[in-house]
Amino acid sequence: MDITPHEPAAHLGPSRNGLEAMPKPCPGSARDVRMRPTGEGVLGMRKREIQVYEAVRARAPGTAEAAPDGRASWPGVWGKLGVKRTTARTTRRRRPAAGKDVWRALTDRIDPAKDRPKLADDIEVKKFSARSGDYVMMANLRDLIHYKFDAGDAEIIALMDGTRSIEEIVVQRLEESGEIELSGVADLVLTLYQGNFLDRPYVDVDAAVARALKPGTSVSRKFRTFAKTLTIEFGSPQRLVEKLHNAGLRVFFNPLVNVVTVAISLAGLVAFFVVVHRKEFSIGGGSSLAAEGLILLALNYFLTFAHEVGHAIVLVRHGRRVKGAGFQIYFGSPAWFVDSTDSLMMEPKYRIASSFAGPYADMFLAGIGSLIILIWPHIAVGHVMYKFVVLNYFLIFLNLIPLLELDGYYILADALRIPDLRPRSLSFLRYDFIRKLRKREPFHSNEVGLLAYGILGVVASAALLVTGALYWKELFGGFVIALWNGGLVTRILLILLGLFVGGPLIRGTVGLVRFLARKIRAIWRAVRFRFEQSWRIEAAELIDALPIFDDVPEDTLSDLAGRVKLRSVGPGHVIVRQGERAEAFYVVRSGQLEVYETDAATQKETILRVLGAGESFGELAVATASVRTASVRAFEQSELFQIDRNTFHLLLADMIK
């Protein structure tokens, strides 16, 4: 099992956020990403930074700058945009002499709008094309951290050359696009800074404090990590993979050698069917089940090692790096893994080659095994070899089915240039299909493809559960019974083999249980919310804190608390849709959501911004009784406070600034 971009993974999510590959690898999640922090203030600063900034500004003399017409203008970016104060503000304190205004100098230093961001010299930037639009991948080559941005963010990043401040970038973008992107630019800079993409190093204070509170050796820290995550990382196997490549594995990139390899693989597949037809071997056969079980377990781990080396060797061949490797107990299944997230910087054809390299190595080894038992059927290890080949071909079959999030899926996704094909198709099938049927809306060609893939994926998953159970019963039933009746040692081996082979089924079952648990918890919390005053007060306080409203009277907040509703939405759920009449506005209680526009002709989506806790959307459309100009979709499990249109007009419409 590995975490290369060909194993099960979450969708890439909103490109507006800048997406980082998970720094802590786990099998099947190389394309798992975490959202960048969106910030909690107007400029994306943390709360304590805002408090310091405001405190300094309050003490700084002469923070208002005089305008030619006598009115004071706001400092910084708002002054550059021509925003004037309604009344001039003067200070009773005399302005200190030039060069001695400590408070103004300190204000300028901690004002994020005056920061002049510059990318570090070793940052790699590559542009890629997908069906949903162009995007840019950025790599911090020092830490092997990868971010994904859409084309709009890439244009902003291109302006970060150290000569422009954030406010100057905002003004330039305003002149070019007509949009004020102050918070978006600041959040973008914060993301790049925390990922060490800028020319000044980022110090993770929280991590440093955590290490100081729990000192110890690297070995003890690894054991603590294993106790929490069941994962042990061994560091980067880059040198080992390079040595294997230079020692002989590079010959597999020779076209003539590949012809021989393919011939052996195909001949081995034919030989396997011949051996099965002869019925000379059976899964339950053999003289010493305990010894055969140990040999089979060792062969399976060798197979996994070859699979991982196959993925990693393609990265090294094309100048990329293997970030890490390790061992993990993944849902009870012991697995080796390599972290090859650096493949995200390769061209799609090379990513496809990397995804296929693992099953290709498996097919080659299975072919050799099949030919051995065909040519020498009475070899001493014939029964073990037969079981190994059967297991190998079954796993190859599972890996290459493009309807499961395994190697075959990522080959198909890269070939179609749809990185999030499976989550998008399942989201469409779950949320949009019934709605379109009910409203009799036409289906775009892209939606037809998503619908077909989603249905096939669900059917294939269900069919695999049924046929897989019948297959294992028919093929391995006797072997399982024999191992179980063979004593304690063979029973332990049976359990280990079951965990190894049944890992995907175990993960699927755990995922289903977690999904049902989230649904039950959401229903319970929604019911409890109706009877708990504290949650209603929380909703009212969040609404009162929104900058779009003036101070809301307490009696209005009390009335509002009795009318607000709590909604829980899962990843991919669309809360509001572009073009629909506004029926409510929302405040984010927890989670993150993406705001996007959809081109009516091409169905291309453009991410506009990301919403986090405490932010709202939809109030202006409700206030003006207009249609939605964009859609909002949950990127992760989220909770929202919903205020319907009637409540809004009754209690809040007159309080909009």
The phi, psi pair for 296, rounded to 5°, reads -65, -40
pLDDT in tens, 458-483: 887 777 767 666 655 655 566 677 77
Delineate the domains of the chain, giving CATH numbers in brackets.
36-215 (no CATH), 223-518 (no CATH), 535-655 (2.60.120.10)
Question: Which comes out higher in pLDDT, residue 165 or 32?
Answer: 165
* 89 has a pLDDT exceeding 60: no
Helix then strand then coil, in percent of the chain rounded to 5, is 55, 15, 30
In contact, 338 and 358? CB cutoff 8 Å: no
Longest dimension (CA), the chain: 102
pLDDT band at 77 (very low <50, low <70, confident <90, very high): very low
Q: Which two tokens stand for residue 177?
A: 């696009």
Q: What would the pLDDT profile of 100-155 be if each residue is shown by its tens digit?
A: 678 887 877 777 778 889 999 999 999 998 877 788 999 999 988 999 888 888 88
Distance, CA of 144 to CA of 188 (rounded, Å): 19
User: Which range, of 130-134, 354-358, 397-401, 455-459, averages the lowest pLDDT?
Assistant: 130-134
Q: Is the pLDDT of residue 445 over 90?
A: no
Please report where in the chains the tokens 């000569």 appear, as a residue: 163
Give me the pLDDT at residue 505, please: 59
CB 308 within 8 A of CB 325: yes
Alpha-helical segments (H) within 97-195: 102-110, 151-158, 166-177, 182-194
Give residue 330's pLDDT band: very low, low, confident or very high (50, 70, 90).
low
- The reported pLDDT for the residue numbered 246 is 92
Residue 231 has what pLDDT? 76
| Burial state string for 286-308 with b = 16 or more CB within 10 A and e = fewer than 16 | beebbebbbbbeebbeebbeebb
pLDDT at position 356 over 90: yes
Check if the beta carbon of residue 111 is closer than 8 Å to that of residue 76.
yes
More confident residue, 54 or 187: 187
Q: What would the mean pLDDT of 364-393 be, rounded to a whole number?
A: 88
Residue 4's pLDDT band, with cuts at 50, 70 and 90, is very low
Q: What is the pLDDT of residues 244-291, one digit of tens each?
A: 999 989 999 999 999 999 999 999 999 999 998 888 877 655 556 666
Identify the sign of the CA torsion 359, 361, 364, 366: negative
Rounded average pLDDT over 640-646: 88
For 404-420, the pLDDT digits (tens) are 778 888 999 898 888 88
Query: What is the per-residue pLDDT for 378?
Result: 85
Under a CB-based contact definition with an 8 Å cutoff, are residues 363 and 372 in contact? no
Supply the pLDDT for residue 501.
60
d(CA 196, CA 482): 57
Angle at 578 between CA 577 and CA 583, to 5 degrees: 60
Looking from the CA of 77 toward its CB, the CA atoms found within 13 Å total: 24
Q: Give the residue-averaged pLDDT of 43-56.
A: 35
Task: Tally Cβ neighbours within 10 Å of residue 375.
Answer: 9
Predicted TM-score (pTM) of this structure: 0.66
> Mind listing the pLDDT tens digit for each residue in 173-229?
877 766 666 667 878 888 899 899 999 888 888 888 887 887 777 777 777 776 666
Instruction: With CA atoms as reference, report the closest residue to 380 among 452, 288, 297, 486.
Output: 288
% of the chain surpassing 90 pLDDT? 17
Mean pLDDT across the stretch 623-649?
86
The confidence band for 333, taking pLDDT boundaries of 50, 70 and 90, is low
The torsion of the CA quartet 28, 29, 31, 34, rounded to 10 degrees, works out to 170
pLDDT tens digits, residue range 537-584? 787 778 777 776 666 777 777 777 778 888 888 888 889 988 888 888
Q: What is the mean pLDDT of residues 336-350?
A: 88
pLDDT of residue 465: 67
pLDDT tops 80 at residue 612? yes
pLDDT at 228: 66
pLDDT for res 293: 67
Query: What pLDDT is attached to residue 511?
Result: 65
**What gap in Å lies between CA 176 and CA 157, rounded to an integer?**
15
In angstroms, the CA 328 to CA 228 distance is 11
Is a pLDDT exceeding 50 seen at residue 58? Answer: no
Rounded to whole angstroms, how far apart are CA atoms 120 and 114? 19
Provide the pLDDT for residue 139: 93
> What CA–CA distance (Å, rounded) separates 607 from 151?
10
Question: What mean pLDDT, rounded, does the chain reach?
Answer: 75
At 182 the pLDDT is 66
What pLDDT score does 69 carry? 45
pLDDT at 284: 58
